[in-house]
Structure 1
Amino acid sequence: MILSDKTILEMLRQKTLRIEPIEKDQIQPASVDIRLGDTFSIVEDSSSGIITLQHEITYKTIRTNRYLLLPGQFVLATTLEYFALPDNLTAFVEGRSSLGRMGLFIQNAGWVDPGFEGEITLELFNANRCAIELQSGRRVGQLVFAQMDAPAKNPYRGKYQGQKGATGSRVFMDRETE
């Protein structure tokens, strides 16, 4: 079941759902607007020119209120908001259609697990032929919350728990299964 604005406001009031900072106009009928933070990370070039899943990837991270995303460029960014989801709530990250129509693709693997706490890292890609200026504090997407039928038996406590800033891939920490 997707949560309504009324339920979201009540959960925020009861502090069973935490979103900080938040302004009342971010609450939409069936979602919460998310805003762009001020941290951006890009993958640093490797000497081999190859990214592997077994080794840590290095990133160059900057803090700025404005970031110029060049055509064909990929950058990690973060939400301005810090989230704490209870163990019975999940969320979907959706980009804004207005930005997609400019060629700005916004993703984060699309899913926020129950029990997650932290800022959400967004993957941004400029599919346009022109640069796109990104501005901290600007609405870039929305979070749609869904109530689960029961609290998760194993809520999220993974490698991105508590993240702040544009957090790079930690896939190298995964244990391989054979």
Structure 2
Amino acid sequence: MILSDRSIRRLLKDNALKISPLEKEQVQPASVDIRLGNTFTVVEDVSEPIVQMTKAVSYKTIQADRYILLPGQFVLATTLEYICLPNNLTAFVEGRSSIGRLGLFIQNAGWVDPGFKGEITLELFNANKCAIELQSGRRIGQLVLEQLDNEAEHPYHGKYQGQRGATGSKIYLDNEVPSK
């Protein structure tokens, strides 16, 4: 069940859900507005033409209050908010329609698992023919919270726990071995 503004405010007041910094206007009828942080990360130019998921990728990270996203460019960004989900809530990130109508695609890879703590890394892509100015502090999306039917038996303790800033992929740490 998706949480209402009343439930969200109650959880925040009881400190069961932590989102910081948070202005009261960010709590919407069925979500919490999330804002763009000031950390942007891009894959560094490398001599190898193929990114391999079994090897670490080099990233370049900058901190800035504004970032110009060129047409066809991809950048990792972060939320301004640090989120602490209890073990009985999950969340997902939705982009704002107003942002999508500018050609800015906002993707978050899957759910935010119960027990997650950290800033949320956003994948941003400019599908427009014009550059788009990204500004720290601007509303970029919504965090939709959902109650689990039971507390998670194994809450999140993965490789992105506690992340701050736009965090690059750590898929190379997975123990997956492709079958031949």
Contact 1:69 1:133 (C-alpha < 8 Å) held by counterparts: yes
Write the letter of the residue equivalent to 1:51. Answer: V
Q: How far does residue 176 in structure 1 lie from its aligned partner after superposition?
A: 1.4
Aligned counterpart, 1:138 = 138
Write the letter of the residue equivalent to 1:169. Answer: S
**Partner deviation per Cα, 1:28-69 (whole Å, 9 max, x = no partner):** 000000000000000001111210001001110000000000
**Partner deviation per Cα, 1:85-116 (whole Å, 9 max, x = no partner):** 00000001000000101000001114100000
Contact 1:33 1:141 (C-alpha < 8 Å) held by counterparts: yes
- 2 CA distance for matches of 1:8 and 1:34? 14
Contact 1:94 1:110 (C-alpha < 8 Å) held by counterparts: no
SS at match of 2:55: coil
For the aligned residue pairs, the C-alpha RMSD in angstroms reads: 0.7
Aligned counterpart, 1:44 = 44
Question: After TM superposition, where is structure 1 displaced by more than 6 Å over at least 4 residues in a row?
Answer: none
Q: Does 1:96 align with 2:96?
A: yes
Write the letter of the residue equivalent to 1:124. Answer: L
Gaps of 5+ in 2: none
Correspondence 1:59-78 to 2 at 5 A: 59-78=59-78
Q: Which moved more, 1:147-156 or 1:42-51?
A: 42-51
Q: Does 1:151 align with 2:151?
A: yes
Task: State TM-score, norm by structure 1.
Answer: 0.98
SS at match of 1:152: coil
Q: How far does residue 123 in structure 1 lie from its aligned partner after superposition?
A: 0.2
Q: Does 1:116 align with 2:149?
A: no
Task: State TM-score, norm by structure 2.
Answer: 0.97
SS at match of 2:93: strand
Write the letter of the residue equivalent to 2:50. Answer: I
Identity %: 69
Write the letter of the residue equivalent to 1:11. Answer: L
